Structure 1
């Protein structure tokens, strides 16, 4: 369930290092005041599988709506919606959603490569797709009903974790290395090319590309690109921005390259986005 479109990924933008969980949400200050996101860390024994538990809720009066746009993180989510439980594969770009009515959805976001340990298929087969969770994972209807009925995230989390502990897993060292590689991209803005990441990981470019396609579900280049775009959007909220300096800092060939890339993803140039976001 994504605040930006369909049954999709964590509408908070995930745990990208910002304290309020809004990283990835474009123009977070424009979100309705009746919109709420709650996030909780996983229990220690599930830390290698789960990135974050989250719950998104809004209550808009009849006739009122809000369109949300999110620069997505590389992750698979399972959300427990009013119409059932859904697996949303990694989103290759931005996601839009028009918010209406009254909705509250608990969900779990997996670590970038961890969902591969639960399924016998490449995660790239789930890219930009929403699939009923029961088609991929053992998920009794009673479990879904119990999680959906939980009054808040604190009540939903133990039910979700009890279900996750019962799933068969095939965790590998390779998946752990890929999770670390994605974390490195999110943390180190000097990593702007696939060959740089491969060198830091001590692997070949070809290995990294194959492994990302299988377990993360997105091309390495796309993961790096979306991390840079989230950083551009975050810096736009800080006030007056030297976009030429930002372009250099994030490894773009020049400011025009940054502007083209951001505009293609968001639909507006970064300077105009900055003015509207403020």
Structure 2
């Protein structure tokens, strides 16, 4: 089974009318560290700003966006970004567990916050950001950032590789819903897994499992409408429906039923932003999921 990558674009049908998204692989030298580069473009000149929300995920993201450049650690809350004006810029999604070598310290130090690019990559990050801003196409943007990342070669340590493999276990197997199951899969003790995740992933293993479960739940609510919530809670490994609803609301700000209704309204063109958004995007590249 291919591993899951929680992307979690909230109200994706509306989002696709607001911006275009493309993803690009890194150079081979960075394949151990980087999942992909992602390029966003939008043009909302003369249009009202759009507030785009994204569900939490485990990845460290390095971004080169006006007003949102920086190194963003793994988050426990919904991320929101205001889209206005005309923008084309790039972000890098690092493999969970694989940013430690660049950071030079525990990834938990940047959990739920961001730090300036220069704090991690030095003055060269300013030049890379300018190259991204002035690039004529995606390839130039990706090349500028790849060059920044490989300028000071780093190595994926055995512990980082072990952390990445532990996250891959969660991503590969939706049946892992408890830390004890993850320990059994990896052959590590509970304490070892907790230390590994704090140092290299940036969050406790229990939260990592929860992120995947709740992203799965959000996807099911979008595709299935209003499913049997009790049954969905059981399939996701929750002991009862109320626990599932509480977790889901904590992360998304909505109950599962509210989230499903919003998704349905967007799909049928009944949402408050859908009609306003129609036809407004000026795409510069094909959108990619």
Q: Could you say whether these structures have the same fold, taking a TM-score greater than 0.5 normalized by the shorter chain as the test?
A: yes
Q: Secondary structure at the match of 1:180?
A: helix
Query: CA separation in 2, counterparts of 1:63 and 1:159?
Result: 31
1:276 maps to 2:262:
yes
Q: Secondary structure at the match of 1:74?
A: coil
Offset of residue 98 of structure 1: 2.9
Among candidates 147, 150, 156, match of residue 171 of structure 1:
156
Offset of residue 37 of structure 1: 1.0
Among candidates 201, 206, 209, match of residue 216 of structure 1:
201
Query: Which consecutive residues of structure 2, in runs of 5 or more, have no partner in the other structure?
Result: 265-289
Is the CA contact 1:117–1:170 (under 8 Å) kept in the aligned structure 2? yes
1:44–1:32 Cα change, 3 Å: closer
Query: CA separation in 2, counterparts of 1:62 and 1:16?
Result: 41
Offset of residue 209 of structure 1: 0.5
Residue number in structure 2 paired with 1:86: 70
Residue number in structure 1 paired with 2:18: 34
1:200–1:17 Cα change, 3 Å: closer
Is the CA contact 2:59–2:95 (under 8 Å) kept in the aligned structure 1? yes
TM-score (norm: length of structure 1): 0.87
Among candidates 253, 267, 273, match of residue 239 of structure 2:
253
Among candidates 71, 75, 83, match of residue 59 of structure 2:
75
1:154 maps to 2:139:
yes
Offset of residue 112 of structure 1: 0.9
Residue number in structure 2 paired with 1:12: none
1:108–1:225 Cα change, 3 Å: same
Is the CA contact 1:48–1:114 (under 8 Å) kept in the aligned structure 2? yes
Among candidates 101, 105, 116, match of residue 89 of structure 2:
105
Residue number in structure 2 paired with 1:130: 114
1:115 maps to 2:99:
yes
Is the CA contact 1:74–1:112 (under 8 Å) kept in the aligned structure 2? yes
Q: How many residues align?
A: 261
Is the CA contact 2:69–2:116 (under 8 Å) kept in the aligned structure 1? yes
Residue number in structure 2 paired with 1:187: 172
Q: Secondary structure at the match of 1:261?
A: helix
Among candidates 213, 216, 223, match of residue 238 of structure 1:
223
Offset of residue 144 of structure 1: 2.5
Deviations 1:17-61 (A, max 9, x none): 48xxx9411211122613111101222221101111011122224
1:104–1:16 Cα change, 3 Å: farther
1:197 maps to 2:182:
yes
Query: CA separation in 1, counterparts of 2:41 and 2:154?
Result: 31
Residue number in structure 1 paired with 2:285: none
Query: CA separation in 2, counterparts of 1:80 and 1:257?
Result: 38
Is the CA contact 2:39–2:89 (under 8 Å) kept in the aligned structure 1? yes
Query: CA separation in 2, counterparts of 1:57 and 1:188?
Result: 34
Is the CA contact 2:77–2:252 (under 8 Å) kept in the aligned structure 1? no
Query: CA separation in 1, counterparts of 2:70 and 2:154?
Result: 19
Is the CA contact 2:61–2:91 (under 8 Å) kept in the aligned structure 1? yes
